[in-house]
Every structure is written in structure tokens, then in C-alpha cells.
Structure 1
Amino acid sequence: MQRVARAAITGRPVSIAVVGAGERGKIYAGFALENPHLLRVVAIAEPSPRRREAFLKRHPEIPPTNVFSDWRDMIKKEKLSDAVAICMLDQMHAESVCAFAERGYDVLCEKPMAISPRDCADIVRSVLKNGVIFAVCHVLRYSPYNRALKRLLDSNAVGEIVNIVHVEPVGWWHFAHSYVRGNWAREDQATFSLMAKSCHDLDIICHYMTPTNPPTRVSSFGRLTHFTRSQKPAEAGTATRCVSCAYEPSCPYSAPKVYLDPAKQDDRNWPSSVVCGGGEVAVDVESITQALQTGPYGLCVYECDNDVCDHQVVNVEFANGATASFTMVAFTERICERQTRIHGTRGEIVGDSLTIKHTDFTTGKTVVIDPGTEIDGVSGGGSGHGGGDYGLIATFVEAVKRGDPGVLGCSPKQALVSHALVFAAEEARKAGTVVNVREFMGRSGCDV
């Protein structure tokens, strides 16, 4: 069991250092701006001068001595904060998490934990050995919606779970942005799409089933179907960029349609802010158009060097014989609004990430629950992922403040199991076989 041998923090907010000032780093640090009584950002490490300067404008309280271009320079200093948020690219997580754990920092790590089973196991060993609090940003666990759903399950509202059907609708333009043109387009440069996009979907399924009923076997099918040169419309000819393509007005994946449409931007100007390089660069028609002429986000989706699956199904068997099926698919109108059906011996739950419809087989009654997105005691609780972003941060801050990892509701070993399920599913897809999850953990070196 993970133990934290220190007193609870009293009389002050928890302090945190942020490593990586990209979109996720800005969100987690933004919690401190809205809830300064709970969290204070005291240091930043970010290699991009533009992003670093933009971060400092939002957090001017960070002293110059605590500003770094490389996290390795940060870690050379005496311990700067109670905790650290690791928000770098996936392939950089393992080394940094282990290093900060060795220095006694409590660690919040953006999902996925790491991009290989052994690296995930190394992280778990390190945080357990050093007795630090460790949370993976499986934000779905912490949304009011999923907390309400889990309370229903724990109250035996459906009896014994027999089957779960869970769908992750990525969204046609969201997938094109992140997994065709963006940072997660190639497995060798990031990780496979099931891990990058949907590791917290398989984690939430494991959460529904409880840790005492782990996944035992998995199979999977899927591939890259559409975003390839062979699927390029003939009318597009030899064009490699949307701004010079005759077919662009008829193409649903047109970069100008995605990045110049105000309806597709959130309150942070995402995704256009990414196209313009982040930081304080103006996000307007002129700057976006200029970026589309030279940058990766202006490329034709059929001419990108991407290779990750644009659709995948995963079938899971659990220790008690219950089953689950998961679908990740790019080609949807909904953007990340998961749909879930949970079938039990005494009832059924149907959810759409907003409301939960529960039918009791004994009474025949159906009730609809709307948990909302606000987090008790937290400003800005209606954050991303249905409130899950700030729900996660608030829970992590409480765990650090109390010195109690149990507050998180997910141990490092439990997070490792759900990651192992994702790795095993991808092995099953590539090999065209059924994979025993426990055996996979043993031979892949992640059985901690």
C-alpha cells in the first residue's frame, strides 16, 4: 500500500510546479487562478519561449528563479513545491515522473501514464518506493456525471453488472486535428490512438466494474481506414494544402472550415490557438490563415504522414464473467460525449455524459438524473470533460493537503491495470488474437 509519511498541509494552499505549458498544463494551472485558496502555482518549466511567456502573464506571481526552459534544471533545485503537474508529451512522462518522485514531489501526471508497459511499471514502482501521492489524469472518474453513475452502481441499483457498452465519439474534425494533423498522428512519435485518446475510457469501464473484478481477457479490431492517400478525392488532384485545393469547399475536413469557424472553438480558442502556436499570438482570421499556409494544421488530411487507427473496437471479459465492449470512432457529430449502457441483473443504466437514465426491473420505474457539471466548493467547476478536469484537480489537491492517497479513489496499481488493458488490447488487435491480461502483464514487465 502507498503510504505518505508526512503531516497534512494546514493554513495555506497546496503549491504546485507545472511542467509543460500546453493546453493541459494551462487548464490545470487555471484551477489555481479560480481557486487561489486551494492551489498556488509557484514554478513553470516549458521549452517554448512563447508558451512560457504566455504562462507567466497568466501567473505573474511565479518568481524568475522558478522559471525554467527544461524540467531537468527545475529538478536540480531544492524542492520548490508540494506537487508537480507533468503535462509534457506522452513519451516524456516516465523519466520526469520518476525523477520528481525521487525528489519527494507528489505527482499529477497527464494521461497516458507512459507509452510502454515497462515505463508504466517503472512509474508505479517509483511512486510507491518514494511514498508520494500519484494521480493519473483519468479525468472521467472525477466528473459529477461519472461520480453519480458510480454511486448508483455501488448502491446495487442494477444488481450485478453483466455487460457494459461504451462508445467514445471522437468527432470528425477533432480526430483530424489531433490524430491526423496533430501531435498524436503517428505511433512512433507519440503512441497509438487507443492509448492517446481512450485510455481513460477503458479505465472508467474498469472503475465501473471495481478493482476486485479485474479484466482477464481482451480482443480488439480496428485500423486506419479513411485518412490515407488512397482515399483522397480525385477532385483534390495534387494539392497538399487546403488553401490551394479546388476540392476544399466540398471537403468536410477542410482546415479553413475547422479553424475559421467560431462554433468549433471553445472558450480558450482551442483548437485555433494550437494552430497559431499557442502563447499570446492573436487568434484571428489573418493569423490562422497564415498558419494554414505553412504549418501542419493546413495539410490535406489525405497527405499527412499519420498511421494511427481512426476506429477501433475492444471486447473485454472480467474475472466474474461480465463483458464489456468499447468503440472509439472518429466519424461522429458528437465530440467526446460518451454514451454508455450498463446492463445488470436488477436494472439498466443508459447515459450520454450529461444525464443518467436508470430503470429498476423490480419496480418498473425509470428515473432520469442530471448531475450537472459543477464541483462542490470549487469555482469554475463547469470545466472540461463535464467538470472532470477541475474535479480531478480538486481531488488531487485534497489528497496532497491531507497527505492521504486514498482520497483519489484510484491507487497507482489500479491505474497500471487499466493501462495494461489498453496495451493488451492493442497487442490483440495487431496479432488478431485474444490476450490474457494477467499473462500480458507478466511478460511485458508491468506486473508490479
Structure 2
Amino acid sequence: MNAASPNSQANATPAPLSVAVLGCGSRGRTYSRLIAFCGEDYRLTAAADPVAVRREAVSSLGPAGQIRVFASADELFSAGKLADVLIIATQDSQHFGHAMRALELGYDILLEKPAAESLARCEEIDALARRLGRRVALCFVLRYTPFYSEVKRIIDSGKLGKIISMRTHEGVEPFHQAHSFVRGHWSRSGTSTPMIVAKCSHDADLICWLGGAGLSSISSYGDLTWYHPGNAPTGAPLRCTDGCPASESCIYDSRRYLGDKRRWLGMVMDGFEQAADHEILEMLKVSPWGRCVYHCDNDVVDHQVLACELTNGITATHTMTSFDFGRGIEIYGTLASLKGGIPYSEAGAPELWLRHHADGRIEPVDIPQPNNAGYAGHGGGDHGLVQALGSLFSGPERLEPGLDGLAGHRLAFLAEEARVTRRTIASSPASALSPQS
């Protein structure tokens, strides 16, 4: 048989990137659906989850028999390496163990944030990935949204001049705070991660990614001020379903899951789409999501601020609060400032705009709309991240070995250390990584 000519090899269609999924909850299923939507560029090969209906939802996205299913992470790992890339979308406390085993098997990894429950463990993942020559990308989907992609493009264009400082803001929204961080999976830092990591690791990553540098030093303040028994209405029972005298005026009444907050059940209740109201009520009577928000076992903060300096001299602040909605950003350069986000667009201003220092001129910025067949999870970021998998893990522009996004994780974890100790924390020289680290 004659060997293939160099030209025929060059013109061969690249093999699709094969992907396996560990953890088929809301995030794992979202990425799986988008991978299936992308057609011939990717191929799903395996899905693992202890809940049968979840792993079957992923296996149904491919031809019969193409996607192998496993009932546990142990079963998946025992089968050997089944794909080029493993998506790890399990609970926060499981990320470290799953990532380390996957790296040892030879996987590149798309890892849901946070990478691990401590900075030391994040650094262990990074060290092992570097030693083995493997790549770990965190699911920082905001990088891939049209909005933040345009912010990055404007910064890189030099239109703002030299960047001096920036301010970011995240309003979690009261019911979201209650669902996820009072009643839900991320309510206790000991079983997940601190609030500034669990919710704001996106924002910490944006500070380093947009600022173009890692952390130099940081201070932070915050507390759990509202969601505790001291603020419970008089006579409020432990569960909203037990008859609360304040139910008509309480914005946290869990019976809202039957109405305008029903979509939130998609994160925590399998088959909620077909569930009757009485079935949801029965679930609320026994699940964490039926509890009074003032009578939970939560300990994460409901508001926090941080102030930091990056290694290139840029200063930045971030505010996280339960009592607002949406992200906003302001970047201050020597030629112009850039402002935008939900707080501006909700008030009728352009979603993103520049103010030129020379003449005070306001310049609205057109944000490209994603071509994602109507799917706009995380402002188009979920789809953008999946589209980027090929370039992240294969080809000439692929990531360097290691944990991409570690700089932002370091900023968030050290912010929590600064908050707890009430002192300014300096990042060690060895830790002052580039934003791509």
C-alpha cells in the first residue's frame, strides 16, 4: 500500500474533538446539548452521573450506543481514557479529586468553577497539569460572551489609553441568593467554597483577564447581615409550607417556585417540567428549598467588597451584594473610560459606552449578537465557551499546560482570607501569575 502523500494529509478533515461528561446536572447537560448542537466538530463519548435520568438525557444526544453511560465517577475512570477532553461538572467539593484522577488518566479538562475548595488544592491541580503536560480550562463563560469579548477588544485596541483602574459589581438578586446561597448547595463555605469564590470567581477572573496581570495585594470586607434568625418575621415557622403569617409580603416565600420562580427548580428537581403543583409542594415540605430563609444553616456572606492592586499597578474594586441585580463594569483609562452592564441598560442607557476625556463625547458601543440558534445561557457565554473548545485544547493556539484561570482564583481565595483576618494580603512573588495562568 502506498503511503499517503503530504498533500492528502494536509487536506484531510480534522478528527472531531471527543468529549466525555462527568456530572450530568444542569451545567453538564447544558454543555452536552451545545456540543451536540455544534455537529461534526465534537463527538460525545461518555456520560457519568449517579442519577439515571440525568445521564440518559446526555446519552440521548447521540446515536444509540455512541455515548457510554456510567453510574459513578469510579466507573468512568475505571474504563480508562474515553475522550480527548473530560468536562467535570460535579459539585464543588468533588472537583479536586475528579480533576486529579482525570489528569493522571491523560485527559485535558474543562472544569466547572471553582477548580477546588481551597487555593492550595487549585495550585496542586495546576502543578500536576504542568508536570503531565495537560490543559485545564475553567468554565469562565463570561470571557466568551459578546459583551465581555467586546470589552476586552476595546482594551486591547488602546482606545482607552493606559488602564489605571477598574470597578466591577455583581448584584446576585435576592431570590437567587436565597435559592443558591441560603437554602442551596453553596450556603456553607465548609461544604462548598466561600461566597466570593462560589459566585464571584467569574468577576475575579475578569479583573485579572481584562487587567492583564495577576494579583499583588488585596483587602476585603463583608458579612452575613440579613439571612439569619434575628431578621425572621414574628411567628415565622421553619418552613414556608408550614403556614407563615408573613407569606403574602415575603419575597422569599418558597411557594413562588409554583409560579414566577418555577424555572429555578430546573437546577434541583429532576422532571420539574412535568411535575404537578402538588408534587412540587411535597418536595418543598422536605427539601432544603422549602425552608424559611431566616431559619437555614447558611454561613456565607450576603455582601462583600474587595480592593486590590495587580502586579502591573492597576487598582480594582469589586462589590458583591445580594440586594441588587446584574453585573456592571467601569474601566478608567488615560484617554477614555468604558462603562456598561445591566445596571446601565436597565436604566435606559446603552449597555456599553465610552466617555472620551478630550471632549466629553459619549460613544455607544455596538455589541455583536451571538450566532447561537437562540441559546443565550450566561449572555451567550455557554455557547461561546463550547465553540472555543477546539482552540483551547487542540491546534496551534491551544492553552499552555496548567490550570488556566488560576490568577483569578488566587484573587478570590485571598480576598476571603483578607475578609476573615481583616488585614491586607500580599500575593507571593511565585503566585503573581499572568491572567492566562
TM-score (norm 2): 0.89
The answer to whether structure 1 residue 282 and structure 2 residue 274 are counterparts is yes
Following the alignment from structure 1 to structure 2, what is the Cα–Cα distance between the partners of residues 285 and 84?
37
Amino acid at match of 2:390: V
| Contact 1:272–1:283 (CA under 8 A) maintained in structure 2 | no
The answer to whether structure 1 residue 221 and structure 2 residue 221 are counterparts is yes
Match of 2:421 in 1: 431
1:133 and 1:381, CA in 2 relative to 1: closer, same or farther beyond 3 A?
farther
Identity of aligned residues (%): 33
The answer to whether structure 1 residue 347 and structure 2 residue 336 are counterparts is yes
Q: Which sections of structure 1, spanning at least 5 residues, go unmatched?
A: 1-6, 443-447
Match of 1:254 in 2: 253
1:150 and 1:281, CA in 2 relative to 1: closer, same or farther beyond 3 A?
closer
The answer to whether structure 1 residue 326 and structure 2 residue 346 are counterparts is no
Following the alignment from structure 1 to structure 2, what is the Cα–Cα distance between the partners of residues 373 and 271?
26
Cα drift, residue 435 of structure 1:
0.5
Cα drift, residue 235 of structure 1:
4.2
The answer to whether structure 1 residue 391 and structure 2 residue 384 are counterparts is yes
| Contact 1:86–1:93 (CA under 8 A) maintained in structure 2 | yes
Cα drift, residue 48 of structure 1:
1.8
Cα drift, residue 316 of structure 1:
0.7
Deviations 1:96-132 (A, max 9, x none): 1121122221210001111111210111112222222
Equivalent pairs counted in the alignment come to: 417
Deviations 1:118-176 (A, max 9, x none): 21011111222222232101111111111111110111111111121110110100010
Match of 1:75 in 2: 77
| Contact 2:119–2:410 (CA under 8 A) maintained in structure 1 | yes
Amino acid at match of 1:431: T
Match of 2:108 in 1: 106
Give the counterpart of 1:13 among 12, 16, 21.
16
1:185 and 1:292, CA in 2 relative to 1: closer, same or farther beyond 3 A?
same
Give the counterpart of 2:290 among 273, 292, 298.
298
1:414 and 1:71, CA in 2 relative to 1: closer, same or farther beyond 3 A?
closer
The answer to whether structure 1 residue 244 and structure 2 residue 236 are counterparts is no
Cα drift, residue 363 of structure 1:
4.7
Q: How does 1:391-430 map to 2 (within 5 A)?
A: 391-402=384-395, 404-406=397-399, 412=402, 415-430=405-420
- The 3-state SS of whatever aligns with 1:16 is strand
Q: How does 1:27-426 map to 2 (within 5 A)?
A: 27-59=30-62, 61-63=64-66, 66-211=68-213, 214-236=214-236, 238-257=237-256, 259-262=257-260, 264-265=261-262, 270-275=263-268, 277-279=269-271, 282-332=274-324, 334=325, 337-352=326-341, 355-375=351-371, 379-380=372-373, 382-402=375-395, 404-406=397-399, 412=402, 415-426=405-416
Following the alignment from structure 1 to structure 2, what is the Cα–Cα distance between the partners of residues 278 and 30?
17
1:280 and 1:364, CA in 2 relative to 1: closer, same or farther beyond 3 A?
closer
1:247 and 1:288, CA in 2 relative to 1: closer, same or farther beyond 3 A?
same
- The 3-state SS of whatever aligns with 2:428 is helix
1:138 and 1:350, CA in 2 relative to 1: closer, same or farther beyond 3 A?
same
Cα drift, residue 55 of structure 1:
3.3
Cα drift, residue 412 of structure 1:
3.8
Cα drift, residue 325 of structure 1:
0.8
Following the alignment from structure 1 to structure 2, what is the Cα–Cα distance between the partners of residues 311 and 411?
35
Cα drift, residue 10 of structure 1:
4.1
| Contact 2:125–2:403 (CA under 8 A) maintained in structure 1 | no
Following the alignment from structure 2 to structure 1, what is the Cα–Cα distance between the partners of residues 73 and 209?
32
The answer to whether structure 1 residue 24 and structure 2 residue 14 are counterparts is no
Following the alignment from structure 1 to structure 2, what is the Cα–Cα distance between the partners of residues 201 and 244?
39
Cα drift, residue 401 of structure 1:
4.1
1:216 and 1:367, CA in 2 relative to 1: closer, same or farther beyond 3 A?
same
1:37 and 1:82, CA in 2 relative to 1: closer, same or farther beyond 3 A?
same
Cα drift, residue 274 of structure 1:
3.1
| Contact 1:373–1:381 (CA under 8 A) maintained in structure 2 | no
Cα drift, residue 246 of structure 1:
2.2
1:62 and 1:368, CA in 2 relative to 1: closer, same or farther beyond 3 A?
farther
1:239 and 1:117, CA in 2 relative to 1: closer, same or farther beyond 3 A?
closer
Following the alignment from structure 2 to structure 1, what is the Cα–Cα distance between the partners of residues 125 and 254?
38
- The 3-state SS of whatever aligns with 2:279 is helix
Following the alignment from structure 1 to structure 2, what is the Cα–Cα distance between the partners of residues 339 and 9?
45
Following the alignment from structure 2 to structure 1, what is the Cα–Cα distance between the partners of residues 167 and 111?
28
Cα drift, residue 186 of structure 1:
0.7
| Contact 1:164–1:341 (CA under 8 A) maintained in structure 2 | yes
| Contact 2:137–2:403 (CA under 8 A) maintained in structure 1 | no
| Contact 2:46–2:59 (CA under 8 A) maintained in structure 1 | no
Cα drift, residue 437 of structure 1:
1.6
| Contact 1:101–1:132 (CA under 8 A) maintained in structure 2 | yes
